[in-house]
Amino acid sequence: MKKTLRYLLFLLVIAFVAYNSVYFKKLDEVKAGTDLFNGRKFAANFWSQKLTPALATAPDAALLFDLLKTDPEQAFSKYGKSMSIGNIKYFLVNGRGIVQSVEENQVIVDVNTKAGSKRVLLATEYIFGNAVRDASGQIDINDFGNSSDLNAISAELNQIIRDKVLPSFLAKVKKGDEITFSGALELNQKYPDLAKIEIIPIRLSIDDSSETKPE
């Protein structure tokens, strides 16, 4: 009798554990849990649908450089963008200038401003950071559940520049060329280094040649 009772209790324990170990979910919930963020697809869509249209309203580089010198507070409040609180701000610009030198990691360009010639660096080798992602102000941090997705967007946008914007430009550009550019730059609002402005290029063209941009 005792042996039978122990056996029944054993079966009850097994049944209880089995019941609590098996549960069902809706199929769409399972699929949602396995979906991965596609940074490459998002970046491609963002580039064509958000970033490119934003360039149409970006300030002229010469105007921005003059404003940063005469009224930096207005320049940052009017044109600076950021997804988070802090001193780092990002700017979109359109500009025109004369190539002074083509170097291993950058192209040095002089931009004519009201205050005089302003030298800027167009990055051509070290394309990284969040400037291109954040400068348009078109991405809301609250739309993303984790920082890895945001980092993936930056990485993919920067890769587009390496693969599709720079190669044809670098194959042709030389000292003395007049170029037109659009790009993104990063500045510290509290300690802006206006002596060394580096621009991550988004669009590049030489004289009347075709723009070097993604298809």
Contacts of 84 (CB under 8 A, 6+ apart): 141
Given the structure tokens 């941009």, which residue do they identify? 213
Q: What's the CATH code of the domain at 79? A: 2.40.50.420
Q: What is the pLDDT of residue 18?
A: 44
Q: Which domain holds residue 128?
A: 2-206
Residue type, 126: Y
pLDDT per position as a tens digit, 89-117: 999 999 999 999 999 999 999 999 999 99
Q: What is the pLDDT of residue 28?
A: 39
Count the Cβ atoms, other than its own, within 10 Å of residue 144: 16
Report yes or no on 213 lying in a domain. no
* DSSP letter (8 states) at residue 141: G
Q: DSSP letter for 211, please.
A: P
Domain count, the chain: 1
3-class state of residue 35 by DSSP: coil
DSSP-H helix ranges across the chain = 2-21, 27-34, 39-46, 52-55, 61-70, 72-79, 131-134, 147-160, 166-172
What is the predicted pLDDT for the residue at 171?
A: 97
What is the rounded CA–CA span in Å between residue 161 and residue 80?
22
Pick out the chain residues at pLDDT < 50. 3, 10-11, 13, 17-34
| Interatomic CA distance for residues 117 and 52, integer angstroms | 28
pLDDT in tens, 142-169: 899 899 999 999 999 999 999 999 999 9
Query: HSE of 89 in the Cβ direction (CA atoms, 13 Å)?
Result: 20
- Residue 61, SS3 per DSSP: helix
**In this structure, is residue 40 part of a structural domain?**
yes
7 assigned to some structural domain: yes
Does residue 108 form part of some domain? Answer: yes
Which residue, 27, 45, 47, is CA-closest to 35? 27
36 assigned to some structural domain:
yes
Is 212 part of a structural domain of the chain? no
**Per-residue model confidence (pLDDT) at position 212:** 63
Instruction: Find the radius of gyration of the CA atoms of the chain.
Output: 27
| Residues 180, 96 contacting (CB under 8 angstroms) | yes
Q: What is the pLDDT of residue 34?
A: 38
Q: How far is CA 163 from CA 84, 133, 159, in A?
A: 29, 17, 6
Backbone angles phi, psi at 22, to 5 degrees: -115, 125
**The predicted structure's pLDDT at residue 199:** 98
At residue 50, the pLDDT reads 97
